[in-house]
Structure 1
Amino acid sequence: MEELSGTVLAGRSFDPIRGRVVVADGRIEAVEETDTTSTDIIVPAFVNAHTHIGDSVAKDAAAGLSLDEAVVPPDSLKHRQLAAADRSELVSAMRRTLRLMRRTGTVSCLDFREQGVEGARALREAATADVADAFILGSGDPAVLDVADGYGASGANDADFADERAACAERGVPFAIHAGEPDATDIHPALDYDPDLLVHMVHAQQAHLDRVAEQSVPIVACPRANAVLDVGTPPIRELVDHTTVALGTDNVMLNPPSMFREMSYTVTRFDVTAREVLRMATTAGAEIAGLDCGVIEPGRRAALVVLDGDSDNLAGSADPVEAVVRRATELDVKRVV
């Protein structure tokens, strides 16, 4: 049994409790108010809800390129780099990114893994016990579902994904699809698949939002990547008002997979509260993938980040939730449980 003391951001509302979290056999046994002198801040570990980990072989190679030039299949720089990468190089690069994520507070990522069955197998090999978990959304032939946790489609304008959607429904695994990144033309076609998850929705309009709410489709927003690729600004306030919204860092070749950066960028650029953003970075992603984490409450998996509330950066903050979302960085992480 282990006790973590300090200010605990507990439950779905992240209420600050001065007290302790009791952990036994990898699960939260109790969250208790108690006297403590600890200045630590204990938060749920992050879930990065949209990544492309394979891009780890091409970090910063696409700087300054457009969306089409950087990442759109099949002829973009990204896909040429992936095709040229040696398997051992790819596995090593992905493992390093997953290790970085684990060290900096991310317990799991939802990864769109290119290169079909072999790509999914490579990510399985990379996701060893000492790194962040990878929830794999595979690509290519529906046979990828023998290896992956679900399917990740590039976009409804790229191909017909009816067989892949049907295979996911038959197996009871999620079907996710990019939509509304370069423009709005693929949003209604994506929704026609009745997906379990939409990614981006930068150009979502009211008719799309109404369908999203009616179909109860969660969305992953990736605002930093959208800015880097200059595709527009997602209507995050409107998205949050209509459905569950999670945060993702998207392509590793464009952005480091830092949920601290993503949270700070989102709360300062959009009309959302710090609590809403913290929920997007923790609870929402966990719920989308059916992961037993994202909330600090008894019975949950003990996936926690301990921040040094007395660091030179965080000391003196008036509000621990605001401190975590607006101010904290990877340097404030004392421990990941």
Structure 2
Amino acid sequence: MEEVAGTVLAGRSFEPIRGHVVVEDGRIQAIEETETESTDIVLPAFVNAHTHLGDSVAKEAAVGLSLDEAVAPPDSLKHRQLAAADRSELVGAMRRTLRFARRTGTVSCLDFRESGTDGANALREAARTVDVDPFIFGSESPSVLDVADGYGASGANDDDFTEERAACERRGVPFAIHAGEPDATDIHPALDLEPDLLVHMVHAEREHLDRVRSQSVPVAVCPRANTVLDVGRPPVRELVDHTTVALGTDNVMLNPPSMFREMAYTAKRFDVTPREVLRMATTAGAEIAGLDCGVIAPGRRAALTVLDGDSDNLADSVDPVRAVVRRATALDVERVVG
């Protein structure tokens, strides 16, 4: 049995409780309010709701390029780099990124993995020695579902994904798709596929938001990547008002997968509260993928990020939730549990 002490951001509301989390066999047994000398801040470990870990082989390569030049299939710089990378190089690069994610408080990521079955297997291999469990949205053909956790489509304007959607339905696994990143033309076609997750929705308008609500489709937003690629600003406030919204860091070649950076950027640039942003970085991604983490509550997996609340950066903060979302960095992480 282990006790993780400090200011615990407990439950779905992240209520600050002075005390400790009782952990046994990897699960939370109790949250006990009690006196403690610990100045640590204990929060749910992060779930990064949208990554492209394969891009780890080409960090910074796409800076300054347009969306099409950088990432559009099949001839963008990203896809040329992936085609040129050998398997050992790819696995090693993704493993390094996963290690960075773990050190910065992330225990899972929802990854769109290119290159079909070979790509999904390469990510499984990369994660084997790292305490981050990627939820893999595979690509290319329905057969990828033999090794992936779901299917991740590039966009409804790129191809007809009805066969892949049907395969996900038969297997009872999620179908996710990019939508509304360059413009709004692919949003209705994406929604026609009845996806389990939409990614980006930068150009979502009222008619799209109403469909998202009526179909109960969650959305992963990636504000920093949208800024770097100059595609616009997602309507984060409106999305939060209509559905479950999770936070992702998107392409590794453009952004390090730091949820601290993504939270701070989102909190400072959009009309959302710190608690909403923290929920986007933890609970929402876990719920989308059906993971037993993302919230500190009895009976749940003990996946915790422990911050030094007395660090030079965080000391004297008047609100622990606000401090975690707007101020904390990787340097404040003492350890990641679970």
Q: If the length of structure 1 is used for normalisation, what is the TM-score?
A: 1.00
Distance, in Å, in 1 between the alignment partners of 2:131 and 2:155 is 29
CA contact (8 A) 1:101 1:131 kept: no
SS of structure 1 residue aligned to 2:29: strand
Aligned residue pairs, count: 337
Query: 1:35 maps to what in 2?
Result: 35
SS of structure 2 residue aligned to 1:164: helix
CA apart distance, 1:37:
1.0
SS of structure 2 residue aligned to 1:81: helix
Query: 1:275 maps to what in 2?
Result: 275
Query: 1:22 maps to what in 2?
Result: 22
CA contact (8 A) 2:245 2:284 kept: yes
1:135-159 CA distances to partner (integer Å, 9 max, x unpaired)? 0000001000000000000000000
Give matches, 1:283-298, under 5 Å: 283-298=283-298
Query: 1:73 maps to what in 2?
Result: 73
1:7-26 CA distances to partner (integer Å, 9 max, x unpaired)? 00000000000000000000
CA apart distance, 1:103:
1.1
Distance, in Å, in 2 between the alignment partners of 1:124 and 1:248 is 20
Q: Which residue identity does 2:148 align to in structure 1? A: A
Distance, in Å, in 2 between the alignment partners of 1:129 and 1:245 is 30
Query: 2:86 maps to what in 1?
Result: 86
Distance, in Å, in 1 between the alignment partners of 2:327 and 2:93 is 29
Alignment of 1:310 onto 2:310: yes
CA contact (8 A) 1:222 1:248 kept: yes
Query: 1:203 maps to what in 2?
Result: 203
Identity score, percent: 82
CA contact (8 A) 1:113 1:139 kept: yes
SS of structure 1 residue aligned to 2:96: helix
Alignment of 1:98 onto 2:86: no
Query: 1:193 maps to what in 2?
Result: 193
CA apart distance, 1:131:
3.2
Query: 1:241 maps to what in 2?
Result: 241
Query: 1:218 maps to what in 2?
Result: 218
Distance, in Å, in 1 between the alignment partners of 2:193 and 2:130 is 36
1:248-274 CA distances to partner (integer Å, 9 max, x unpaired)? 000000000000000000000000000
Distance, in Å, in 1 between the alignment partners of 2:186 and 2:253 is 24
1:208-261 CA distances to partner (integer Å, 9 max, x unpaired)? 000000000000000000000000000000000000000000000000000000
Where in structure 1 do 4 or more consecutive aligned residues deviate above 2 Å?
none
CA apart distance, 1:126:
0.6
CA contact (8 A) 1:212 1:243 kept: yes
CA contact (8 A) 1:7 1:17 kept: yes
Q: Which runs of 5+ in 2 are unaligned?
A: none
Q: Which residue identity does 1:73 align to in structure 2? A: P
Distance, in Å, in 2 between the alignment partners of 1:296 and 1:164 is 35
Query: 1:256 maps to what in 2?
Result: 256
Q: Which residue identity does 2:167 align to in structure 1? A: A
Query: 2:142 maps to what in 1?
Result: 142
1:124-180 CA distances to partner (integer Å, 9 max, x unpaired)? 111124331110000001000000000000000000000000000000000000000
Distance, in Å, in 2 between the alignment partners of 1:307 and 1:232 is 33
SS of structure 2 residue aligned to 1:80: helix
Q: Which residue identity does 1:7 align to in structure 2? A: T
Alignment of 1:115 onto 2:153: no
Distance, in Å, in 1 between the alignment partners of 2:128 and 2:297 is 27
Query: 2:230 maps to what in 1?
Result: 230
CA contact (8 A) 2:95 2:130 kept: no
Alignment of 1:168 onto 2:171: no
Distance, in Å, in 1 between the alignment partners of 2:318 and 2:37 is 17
RMSD (Å) for aligned C-alpha atoms? 0.5
Distance, in Å, in 2 between the alignment partners of 1:62 and 1:190 is 26
Judge which range, 305-314 or 127-136, deviates more: 127-136
Distance, in Å, in 1 between the alignment partners of 2:99 and 2:12 is 27
Distance, in Å, in 2 between the alignment partners of 1:37 and 1:126 is 39
Q: Which residue identity does 1:145 align to in structure 2? A: L
Distance, in Å, in 2 between the alignment partners of 1:306 and 1:147 is 33
Distance, in Å, in 1 between the alignment partners of 2:130 and 2:32 is 29
CA contact (8 A) 1:306 1:335 kept: yes
Distance, in Å, in 2 between the alignment partners of 1:130 and 1:185 is 39
CA contact (8 A) 2:308 2:332 kept: yes
Q: Which residue identity does 1:110 align to in structure 2? A: L
CA contact (8 A) 1:156 1:186 kept: yes
Q: If the length of structure 2 is used for normalisation, what is the TM-score?
A: 0.99
CA apart distance, 1:325:
0.1
CA contact (8 A) 1:69 1:76 kept: yes
CA contact (8 A) 2:53 2:94 kept: yes
SS of structure 2 residue aligned to 1:57: helix
Distance, in Å, in 1 between the alignment partners of 2:132 and 2:187 is 31
Distance, in Å, in 2 between the alignment partners of 1:257 and 1:106 is 9
Q: Which residue identity does 2:235 align to in structure 1? A: P
